[in-house]
Structure 1
Amino acid sequence: MNLKYKISLFFLFLGFATAFSQGSPYYKGGFKIKFGDNDDKYVRIITWAQAQANYSDDRPEDQSDVSFQLRRARILVYGQIVKDFLVLTHIGMNSLNANNMQPVGNEGTPQVFMHDAWAQYNVAKNHVIGGGLHYWNGLSRLNSQGTLNLMTMDNNRASWSNLGLSDQFARHIGIFAKGNFGRLQYNVAVNEAIVNTLDTQTLSTDYAVYQGANLLGTANAGKVYTGYFAYNLLNMESNFLPYKVGSYLGTQELLNVGAGFFHHPEGSVILNDEGEQQGENVNLFALDVFYDVPIGAAGASLTAYAKYQYNDYGTNYQLGPYSTGNMWYAHTGYLLPGDFQNTRFQPYASFNYSTIDALQDDRSIFGIGANAYLNGHNSKLTLEFQSENFNGERLNRLSLQAMIYL
């Protein structure tokens, strides 16, 4: 496929998305059904879809360099009849494309599945406990990143630090507590560890595999402990729901400093010199800073995020984006001056650098892109270029995404 044809495909997609994704200027708080005149009795419904056109220079020779996919399609519902308790459910699918679609859609992956389902109770002012299939993750802000209001096209993949290893798509079944002591917000959880993980590596004396809950069958290997703590230096950020906002587009003044942990006793398994299975603890720690403020000319704002994360998945662990070692990640974006009666633009850049104990080569990913907000986060287009350097090879990707949420 020649370059002219590839560019034409991208602009065809851009034109389609612009024509059909203007969103509504009357969107104010989403679909919220109130029961009577009491604001404490309601059900809120949120739905969103993200469609992508992707170019990659690493696709098989028998496939086009340009592909299309439905990145996400979701429905989230939550509600309460009194302030003291709330229930939330969240279903959807991810990354539907020509390679994983089924002829009649009734088998295979991806499928529509339950992302979240939990109930929570207010036990004191500013303190809540709950349980179920939940997203109150510890470790870092990006480990609980929401996908409704990302600044970059998608989350830093390695920051969903246990996706498919100890959880179901970044969600665990367990119990959690969350709240705040003054300006210090917290969420902690004790969870079950998934048995059927993405790690299918063969057991070895040279490296660990993340299959402790499956292979060891011990009480320790079956539980995960996690938490995240953030101090709000400027305004208080809402922690009503766990989904962290990527960019507030100048509507908040926030400076949050956070720290978190993830501890899975005997989460990984390695063979000792006698060939016997031996459990190894999985320990992850992170420090991060989030800054989002209006700045300069009317309507302009700055969003910045930085994180250091120490990863110990076990001896010489390496599987896809996950590895024992260190990770540094940062992104920043600038929303150009203007008002949301018109299209707004936000150029941004991101960088990820990871050291990998098991390999002599490190991984680096550089990204640059821009958002075009047609109606704030409710209707936007994102164009992003990423270049990844890993294990002596460089992979370049160019993606265009159209998103609408209501």
Structure 2
Amino acid sequence: MKKGKHLTTALLAACLSTSALAQSPDNYGSGLKLDLNQDGTKFVRFIMWHQFWTTYTQNNPGTKDVNGDPQSSTMDIGIRRSRFLAYSQISPRFLILTHWGINNVSFINGGGAGTLGTGASATGQGGKRPQLYIHDAWSEYAVVKGKLHIGTGLHYWNGVSRLSSASTLNFMTMDAPIFNWYNIEATDQFARQFGIYAKGQVGRLDYRVSVNKPYVYGVSPTKANIKPDGIAVNAFTEKAAFSGYFDWAFKDKENNILPYFVGTYLGKKEVLNIGAGFYTQANATASARVSGADTLIDKHTQTCIGVDFFWDKPLNKAKGTALSIYSVYYNYNFGPNYLRNIGILNLHANTVAPTESFAGAGNLQPTIGTGSIWYTQVGYKFPNMKNGSSFMPYVTTTYKDFNRLAASSFQYDLGLNYFVSGHNAKITLQYTNRPIYKLNSSNGTIDRDGSKGEFVIQTHIFL
């Protein structure tokens, strides 16, 4: 009986502790924590979350449905993220973390290999039985506690910008703009690479640097594999990559025990930071060109640079109002005319003539490439209501100027967060505008051809 009583008491204490910690939008202060000793210096913490999307998409020109018929719009319900994270400190000098889950699963894609049933034959894997995989797996040692920590593994201590290491638990917007993850699903695994990192805080300076071994992706840089059109593509290489991000805290300092930057603190603290970062890898891409009677292969160094500003300010703490502003400028160089088209939870993979839609079918759009991007998001949190819930409307703007496209583009998102219980339970409605491009067959340029839109409702819960 005594053992059962002690176990019940311990579980109740853990639940009460979790309830208090869950009020903080900081990842480190959230989740179920189990203390392994009396003073709590040895512990295991668990975090789990789901994000479901219900979407209505205006499809790109030339999009077809599963039967091959023209389809101007699509409705879908899918899993954007379903994750589980656990980490432990058995000593203040050691930390181990494992993070796994699934992403981007719909009725037609994201499923496990070999899945049988409707949608699994003509459309690839289908959407059934998605395979869990590791997102993060690293261990860390404190050389000088708080000032210098060194870790190794499959990690998320990214360079370039704050948004490149964004937490998916507490975005101010519904989601990230994707181009913040400059290698997404190319030479990384969902924004992670194998590497050795160092991080810490020295005064008001917060830093993270790493040496990584990117995944091999693309083609072997030979004449047989690359068209002599002067367009850079990802190429096989074993070169290491180097990255770093540094920011200065003018107001409240942030917790950097974990790499995940908070999107908004919802008026809990005032953070005013300016940061800058980089990522570089030699021979990451290659292009081919004709020189006389020969074809020459040129290898290119990938260099990504970012400069950003983050201001998250409580306006009236008694009422709970707050202002959140984030702005970042990216300069990306992947080699001449490099461009990637990406669409989140894109349901359509049919071939589209570039004269109809250069990006392709569904919701694909030019997302990452050689050129520059300026992204800004602004949100205002309304006063808390009697039940503790609140609303936060927001707007984002994106200016892209890619070398390969004849014209730059401006696009925007309009959104509304309903915080049922802070970031732990929220519903977000967002309208997303994206540019459409098509190939001009007369002169070979890729010209702007209007815009399409997408409505998304996201339900988000994490514990």
Short-chain TM bin: 0.7 to 0.9
- The answer (yes or no) to whether the contact 1:203–1:269 under 8 Å persists in 2 is no
Instruction: Determine which of 228, 231, 236 is the counterpart of 1:207.
Output: 231
Q: How does 1:367-406 map to 2 (within 5 A)?
A: 367-391=413-437, 392-406=449-463
RMSD (Å) for aligned C-alpha atoms: 2.3
Aligned-pair identity in percent equals 36
| Structure 2 portions without partners, runs of 5+ | 1-17, 23-29, 66-70, 342-366, 438-448
Matched residue, 2:274: 257
Match for 1:91 among 95, 100, 104?
100
Structure-2 residue corresponding to 1:268: 285
Picking from 60, 66, 82, the partner of 1:73 is: 82
Alpha-carbon distance between aligned partners in 2 of 1:131 and 1:205, rounded to the nearest angstrom: 40
For the pair shown, the structure with the greater C-alpha radius of gyration is 2
Scaled by the length of structure 2, what TM-score is found?
0.77
Displacement of 1:26 in angstroms is 6.3
Superposed, 1:34-45 pairs within 5 Å as: 34-45=35-46
**Superposition deviation, residue 284 in structure 1:** 1.0
Instruction: Kindly provide the CA deviation profile for residues 237-284 of structure 1, in whole angstroms up to 9, marking residues without a partner as x.
Output: 111111111111000111000000111111111124332332111111
How far, CA to CA, are the matches of 1:76 and 1:197 in structure 2? 31
2:144 paired residue among 118, 121, 124: 124
Alpha-carbon separation, structure 2, partners of 1:353 and 1:111: 36
Map 1:107-186 → 2, pairs under 5 A: 108=125, 111-125=131-145, 126-186=147-207
TM-superposed CA distance for 1:365, in Å, is 2.1
Establish whether residue 323 from structure 1 lines up as the match of residue 332 from structure 2. no
Q: Is the 8 A contact 2:328 2:376 kept in 1?
A: yes
CA contact (8 A) 1:199 1:319 kept: no
Check the 8 A contact 2:218/2:236 in 1, yes or no.
no
Q: Is the 8 A contact 1:25 1:375 kept in 2?
A: no
Question: 1:340 and 1:89 mapped to 2: Cα distance?
Answer: 38
1:335 aligns with 2:381: yes
Q: Which amino acid in the other structure matches residue 265 of structure 2? A: Y
Equivalent pair of 2:219/2:236 in contact (CA under 8 Å): no
Stretch deviating more after TM superposition (373-382 or 361-370): 361-370
Name which of 234, 240, 243 aligns with 1:226. Answer: 243
- Would the aligned equivalents of 1:212 and 1:269 in 2 still touch at CA under 8 Å? no
Give the match for residue 16 of structure 1. Answer: none
Alignment size in residue pairs: 376
Q: Please, which of 310, 316, 321 is the counterpart of residue 331 of structure 2?
A: 310
Deviates more, 1:228-237 or 1:94-103: 94-103
Task: Compute the TM-score of the two structures, normalised by the length of structure 1.
Answer: 0.87
Aligned to 1:358: 404
How far the C-alpha of 1:339 sits from its partner, in A, is 5.3
Q: Distance in 2 between matches of 1:182 and 1:38?
A: 27
Q: Of the candidates 195, 199, 222, which is equivalent to residue 216 of structure 2?
A: 195
What amino acid is the match of 2:234? Y
- Segments of 5+ residues of structure 1 without an aligned counterpart are 1-23, 214-220
User: More displaced, 269-278 or 369-378?
Assistant: 269-278
8 Å contact from structure 1 (residues 165, 198) kept in 2 = no
CA separation of 1:247/1:167 partners in 2, compared to 1, >3 Å: closer, same or farther? same
Q: Which amino acid aligns with 2:457?
A: L
Distance 2:279 2:426 in 1: 34
